[in-house]
Amino acid sequence: MTGPLAWRVFPDRPGGLRRSTALSVWISSVRAMTNTVQAYSYAGPSTLVGDRLGLATSGGRTATGLAGRPRFFSGVVTQAAPAAAALLAVADVALARYHQPRAAGSGRTRDPVITCDGERLRLESFSACGGVYARLDLLGAALDGEVFDRGATNVDVNGPLREALARVGGRDPLHLGVGADELAVTTLNGAVVEKKVPLPERWLRGFAEVQVIASGFDLRAEPAGMAAVRFLRGLPKKATAGVWVVPSGRELRVTTAPARGAVCLAGVGRLATLHPLLRFATKLRVYGPAVQDQVVSSAWELELPGMRYTLVLSPQAWRGFSGEGAVLADLSGDDAEADADVIGMLLNFEPTVETGLLADRSGLTPARVRAALTQLGTAGKVGYDLAEAGHFHRELPYDREHVETLNPRLAAARALVAAGSVRLAGSGTARVTTGGGVYEVGLETGSCTCPWWFDRRGSRGPCKHVLAARIAVHDTEGALR
Amino acid sequence: MTAWDEIRVLIDAGDAGKLIDRLVELDDHERKLVAGELRGHIPFLRARAETLQQQRWREERRRRGRHEPEHEPWQDWADLMRLAGAGTLSAVTAVASWVTRRDLTTWRIFARRPGFGDPAPVVRLLAHRPAQWQAELAERLAVKLRGPRDAGVPLALAMLRHTGVEPPQHDPLVVAWVSAGVGSDPDPLLPALLPRIFEAEGVGRALQHERTDPISPWLRTMRELSESGAVGRASLLDGCLGRFLRGGNAQDLRFFVRLHGLLEPSAAEVKARRRDYLRLLPAAPGPVAELALRHVRRLEAHNPAEVAEALEGLLFRAEATLVRAGLTWFDQTARQAPEQADDLAPALVTAFHHESYDVQHRAAMLALKHAGRFSPLGAETIRDAVPALPPALGERLVTVFGGAAAVPATTPPYIPPPLPAPPAVGAFAAVPATPAAMEALGWTSWEWQDGERWLAGFVRLAGQDVRGLRVALGAAFGSSYSQLYDMRTWTSVDYWRAAMARELITPGTDPGVPVERPEPYHEGRRSSAAVLFAAMARNAEGNQGDGEEKIVEEDDEGFTSAVLPAGLHGQIFGGLEQAGNMTSAHAARAGDPPAEYDTEETRLVSFSWTGYASPFRSRKPRPVPEAPRDRLPSPRKVSPPHLFLLRRCAEILDALKSGTLPPVLLATPTLSTGTLDPDVLVSRLEECEAAHAVPLPADLQQALLRLPRGAHPEAAARAERLTSEAGRTAARWLADGGLPDPEAGVRWSYSEGMKEHYIDERPPAQVGQVSLVPRLKAAPTGLHLIDELLREPAKWSWDDHGGHMGWWPSILPSHREVVAVNLLPHLLYQWNRPGVYPGHAAMLAAADGPAGEATALVLAYFLAQKKPGDAVSVFLTMAARGDLPASTLGVQLGLLVRWTWLKRQHVVNALAEAADRGAHQQVWQVLRTLLPALLPRDGEHARGGLVKLVELATTVAARAGVRGAIPEVAAVAGRRTTSMFARECGRLHDHLTRS
């Protein structure tokens, strides 16, 4: 059940202030069935007055601890027009629902997340359908100003701001402020903005897991400016069309069947936010996992002057990232959780997370560090930067306990193990007894006789029976040791 | 009587007015009491209403009434319960959720009444609550809305109007408000919600069908409001522009584009918003950018920097019309302010990259025209961009600006991959060796391989382990096909399998083919009659008035409710009885005529009969046909390969009945394509001979057809040592090289003026329905079943034609063209018939033998589909094997595109994909024959989309490195036109004739 939406700007009043200043309530979430309601509380709406763009922040974790309205940055954006257009693109993704669009806008936009790591600003958003992830990285070259703190938080995006951003021209200067003090200048009456939007579990999990999925991608093609434009303009007009993209020379070609080195592009309409940015783009980078015979996720990154705009698409328009099960193999081990705690402590919003360095500091093997990063990724604590091929520290400013809730499939698997339903049958098989019958799991192949596995054949990761069997094997081995 | 009882009675009485009056009078205690009872009462009322409605429907059916039933109080229960809750629940939240309860608002069965869900009574009732309470409720109801079709919309809007409260900020509310239409009265919500239509997501989409001519309601309202001054023009204009800036696709913005057009902004108004219009040029959807450009161009004296930026955005756009307009603007600016030419150079060169040759040409001409106005810096910008232009254009610029044009005919950067290796042919899966394996095969098979394996396993095990096989088949077949022996023919292999299984389990169960009894004509057939008659009534003045027409419908089971005037009664049923179609008993039961119609003036208007049989047809007994000896269908009714397959089944069943089953079937393949190893065949023959068994004729002939092509002297020598008739036949066949390739192919025909013509003899004047005429001429082999199989198939398919098509390629694995010819009747018009699928084409590709017109046509058909992925794989397989009939394929593709509904664009896509996947040489051979077929002849106009085909041909020709002019291309290339099509043909021709 989703709670009602409330979007009100009301004059400053004691209640509003109290809510905003008390850190203990910086995120208030009301759990109802599987949905949580996220309440954003901003000191005022984000505005663009004159050339001063003030992005209002809601609460989040910073390098110095939890903050109600952290202040990250104040300075000049050297490339005004691309930055404004890319900000709009991020906001558009947050607003969009690519699969089964609603007749009336729901008005339930989940605000973008901004991360400041001291060198750059990253803005992330996730579509309402849970299948498209967008990130704008404003790199050092595009920013000239002062950093106040490092951390991650939500930023308010509203209609008038979008309008104003669309008015920014290439020759206009743009001064960007992220955080409270900027607003003191721009807001007239100090009004508080509060928004409440439902935060479905699958949306949140998808947002977190997309990082883990992206970390398995390789660069597949890198067409330069006009080749990228030709390719994107030449895509089928039908938004739901699905194609495969093959690099050929300096160009990209579209085919209907998978081929070696091809990148799956399902729902070409989901790349719509790239189009307004094309005129600034110097390069398009296309990423994908090692291709199999099935539809897979892909990432599309536009290189803009001093910034990068990245879209990650799920394998199908109707498939959100949450059900992909890409992370389950790493999570089912027991060590991952403990390792993640260790690694999590070592992160401090550094610009890049280096596996080797972390391994040295924590004393863990690089493989365990990577598994721990997966665990942290699903908990919304690290992101993945494809261009730099590295993780970065970013804590999603949502109810932490909620983000860390186990993946339901993994939870079900643990429950099966706890109930003693797994019987290792030797010769690499296990029998898992459930309410629906007894299923046989092949441990080597990771296959199962359950209907879920029959339908998906590994395209969404292991089923709960396979996971349960693996956990049981792991436990047995641990006991023997 | 408690308050609740009173309310309940009032609800049952169905009077909203009285209920409201009573609800208002309730005191607090009574309210609480009633509110507590309401929820539990809903299931009761709903169940009662459902029961009563069912009763009513039953009654209507019985009376055959066609009148609208009267309204009854119980139908209103949902509305009245809504009222009762609204009147008694105290909390705002409780009322809000009560009045929007789904079971009360969407009770469709009873919602046929127009007044259902009317918010007026609820509002009237709620008017007794405190104003603050009402306002809160109105707000809450509004915020609950999810979309324009939400059942809560009428009440939410009514409450907002009634309370006058400021509507909450909620996009779906605005969408619902505009979707509800323009009210006739001045709408109190208008001032509050009108500004929000420019902000709320979804409004544009809801109003996308509003038009200006004739003007639609919302646009008219807007115009009236702005003309009367009730809403400022400025706010509407700002709203539209704000909406454009916020973005959205063309559909979402269409309404606002039309509204903007309706407002006709003056130059001063545009000037005040100049910046907004300029910002729309680079990225707004086409129609919006067009509008912005039109208005911007009306203004004089732009800031040069702004013009440069606007042009950069505009000339970058994909739409050629906008870019052309941008180039005109550039031209004017450069002429009027030559000193700005340098600033505009970057904008101009973006147009060099445009897709359209026309745009590129124009941009290049402009660069030449203004060459003198550029400083060295500007000239350098242009020089650097020259390589983006086509070589010919680039050369012209190079002469002025220097630099280098794109090198013409650069070696294609793309190196196509090698052809993928064709899939390997696997061994045929093992024949079941145990009863358990037979049981696992089940009682029906989808794949032909399983069918073959079952037959082979059956024959093998029937000789080795009858007892075990009986048990296994008993388990597998169970009680399948209980009507098996009642059928006169068995057209599916599955029936034959079931018959074999039953015969094996209980020998002699088959009672024989049922004798066809001539049925009385009407028996078991339902029909119905409709009689229309008119009674000419006389009115008071004695004038003959209009006749009243009455339709009587009857069915032949009853005739009970017919009410026919006596005169007509005699006319109709007497006639029927006389014709022998109806017994007098039937006629007598046809009812009594009503007195008022039984007049002289009543006349029969029409009598119609629908059903399987006409009542006027005589019921002469038909001659009893001779009982057939087996259940094979008539050769007329099935396709030749299908019949051949059934014959194999029939002979196994016969042999089983007569106890002459051989120990092994000869024809079971050894390869997954259906091919049979000659040595294995000879071994099987030897086995039969050793067992003193006579091989079954159809089985032997199938085995011979499955031999690989060519002579097999070693196997023949082995076979010659056999003494049986079958052995000698096999030896001869093995030595002679098997079946000579029949003459096979296809001709395209069409009918015009009741006559059939061939397209190659007399091309049709227009595209109509074509048919494919299969051609198959085989010399007699002396083996009569093979000769029957090689009959020429019919042009059309009917009855059971096209059965077991998946099996066919394996019947003739060395003669795929024969199989393809048999597939042709099922290729084109397959909407309600068994059809050919890409899988069949793949099986043809895997098979052996010459591939001619028919094979090419089957493949061509699938290449011309929207999703040609599978067909492209088949193309690649055949290309890799060197079996592809490429030039024939081009011809057939040309015919398909020219004379059927299949699209050229799809063919282009498929061929492009095949070329990209390594088959460029073969694709070129296809194009070589396809191009002449599709290029316009003298005097014809080129049809759209040909450019893409010629482009593909140029690319593929370059990749394949081929030479040699095509006369049809040369003819177009030589034309004196500058169309893109002619230019592309020129490029192709240049390439082909380059030495």
Residue B137 C-alpha, separation from nearest chain A C-alpha, in angstroms: 13
Q: Do B872 and A257 touch (CB under 8 A)?
A: yes
pLDDT tens digits for range B134-175: 999 999 999 988 888 888 898 999 999 999 999 998 889 999
At B89, list the tokens: 């629940």
Residue B908 C-alpha, separation from nearest chain A C-alpha, in angstroms: 12
pLDDT tens digits for range B628-664: 778 999 888 999 999 999 999 999 999 999 999 999 9
In-domain check, residue B978 = yes
At B495, list the tokens: 């029936």
**Interatomic CA distance for residues A141 and A139, integer angstroms:** 5
Domain shared by B822 and B936, yes or no: yes
**Which pLDDT belongs to residue B116?**
72
Phi/psi for B615 (5° steps) reads: -70, -15
In chain A, % of residues over pLDDT 70: 84
Contact B461, B432 (CB under 8 A): yes
CB-CB neighbours of B334 under 10 Å:
21
Q: Which domain holds residue B100?
A: 1-115
**Which pLDDT belongs to residue A324?**
74
As a whole number, the mean pLDDT across chain A is 81
Tell me the one-letter amino acid at B652: I
pLDDT of B887 above 90: yes
In-domain check, residue B164 = no
* Closest CB from B247, B282, B414 relative to A248: B414
pLDDT of B111 above 60: no
In-domain check, residue B502 = yes
In this structure, chain A runs to a length of 481
* Closest CB from A85, A103, A169 relative to B206: A103
Residue A242 C-alpha, separation from nearest chain B C-alpha, in angstroms: 11
Domain shared by B672 and B582, yes or no: no
Interface of A with B (CB under 8 A): 4-8, 85, 88, 92, 95, 102-107, 159, 162-163, 166-171, 226, 229-230, 233, 246, 248-251, 253, 255-257, 259-260, 272, 275-276, 278-279
pLDDT of B621 above 80: no
Domain shared by B590 and B641, yes or no: no
Question: CA of A259: which chain B residue's CA is closest?
Answer: B917
pLDDT of B624 above 70: no
Domain shared by B481 and B599, yes or no: no
> In this predicted complex, what is the ipTM?
0.83
Candidates A93, A256, A268, partner chain B, best to mutate (most B CBs within 10 A): A256
pLDDT tens digits for range A364-400: 888 888 888 888 888 888 899 999 888 898 888 876 5
pLDDT tens digits for range B213-254: 889 999 999 999 999 988 899 999 999 999 999 988 899 999
* Closest CB from A162, A167, A255 relative to B276: A167
Q: Is A472 helix (H, G, I), strand (E, B) or coil?
A: helix
The mean pLDDT of B544-550, rounded to a whole number, is 47
**Which pLDDT belongs to residue B561?**
37
The mean pLDDT of B669-698, rounded to a whole number, is 94
pLDDT tens digits for range A316-326: 888 888 877 66
Q: Do A226 and B353 touch (CB under 8 A)?
A: yes
In-domain check, residue B409 = no
For B78-101, the DSSP string reads: HHHHHHHHHHH--SHHHHHHHHT-
User: B133 falls in which pLDDT band (50, 70, 90)?
Assistant: very high
In chain B, % of residues over pLDDT 70: 86
pLDDT tens digits for range B395-430: 888 888 887 777 655 555 567 788 888 888 899 999
Structural domain count of chain B: 5
pLDDT of A2 above 90: no
**Which pLDDT belongs to residue B323?**
95
At B311, list the tokens: 């042009």
* Closest CB from B205, B355, B869 relative to A103: B205
The mean pLDDT of B282-303, rounded to a whole number, is 90
Q: Do A255 and B144 touch (CB under 8 A)?
A: no
**Interatomic CA distance for residues B478 and B184, integer angstroms:** 72
**Which pLDDT belongs to residue B148?**
85
**Interatomic CA distance for residues B37 and B26, integer angstroms:** 15
User: A29 falls in which pLDDT band (50, 70, 90)?
Assistant: very low
**Interatomic CA distance for residues A321 and A132, integer angstroms:** 8
For B386-455, the DSSP string reads: GGGS-HHHHHHHHHHH-S-PPPTTPPPS--PPPPPPPPPPPBPPPPP-SHHHHHHH-S--SSHHHHHHHH
Domain shared by B860 and B959, yes or no: yes
Q: Do A246 and B916 touch (CB under 8 A)?
A: yes
Residue A99 C-alpha, separation from nearest chain B C-alpha, in angstroms: 16
At B647, list the tokens: 């014959």
Nearest C-alpha neighbor of A3 from the set A194, A193, A198: A198
**Which pLDDT belongs to residue B607?**
61
- Continuous segment of H or E residues that includes residue B855: helix B853-863
- The strand ranges marked E within A249-404 are 251-255, 263-266, 283-288, 298-304, 307-313, 382-385, 390-393
The mean pLDDT of B900-924, rounded to a whole number, is 91
Q: Is B588 helix (H, G, I), strand (E, B) or coil?
A: helix
**Which pLDDT belongs to residue B572?**
63
Domain shared by B453 and B561, yes or no: no
Question: CA of B303: which chain A residue's CA is closest?
Answer: A171
Domain shared by B911 and B836, yes or no: yes
Nearest C-alpha neighbor of A216 from the set A276, A290, A313: A290
Domain shared by B575 and B506, yes or no: no
Contact B81, B41 (CB under 8 A): yes
**Interatomic CA distance for residues A44 and A193, integer angstroms:** 5
Domain shared by B485 and B562, yes or no: no
In-domain check, residue B568 = yes
In-domain check, residue B843 = yes
At A10, list the tokens: 């009301």
Domain shared by B509 and B533, yes or no: no
Domain shared by B941 and B848, yes or no: yes
Domain shared by B830 and B763, yes or no: yes
pLDDT of A16 above 50: no
**Which pLDDT belongs to residue B575?**
60
**Which pLDDT belongs to residue A302?**
95
* Closest CB from A8, A92, A260 relative to B247: A92
The mean pLDDT of B332-359, rounded to a whole number, is 89
Residue B285 C-alpha, separation from nearest chain A C-alpha, in angstroms: 10
pLDDT tens digits for range A234-289: 998 888 888 999 888 788 888 887 878 889 999 999 999 999 999 999 999 999 98
In-domain check, residue B686 = yes
In-domain check, residue B234 = no
pLDDT of A411 above 90: no
**Axis-axis angle for helices B493-505, B466-477 (nearest 10):** 130
Q: Do A248 and B176 touch (CB under 8 A)?
A: no
> Worst-scoring range by mean pLDDT, A416-430, B56-70, B88-102, B117-131?
B56-70
**Interatomic CA distance for residues B528 and B122, integer angstroms:** 51
Q: Do B147 and A102 touch (CB under 8 A)?
A: yes
Q: Do A257 and B172 touch (CB under 8 A)?
A: no
Q: Do A107 and B172 touch (CB under 8 A)?
A: yes
CB-CB neighbours of B217 under 10 Å:
12
pLDDT tens digits for range A160-202: 899 999 998 888 889 999 986 655 444 445 567 888 887 777 8
As a whole number, the mean pLDDT across chain B is 85
pTM of the model: 0.70
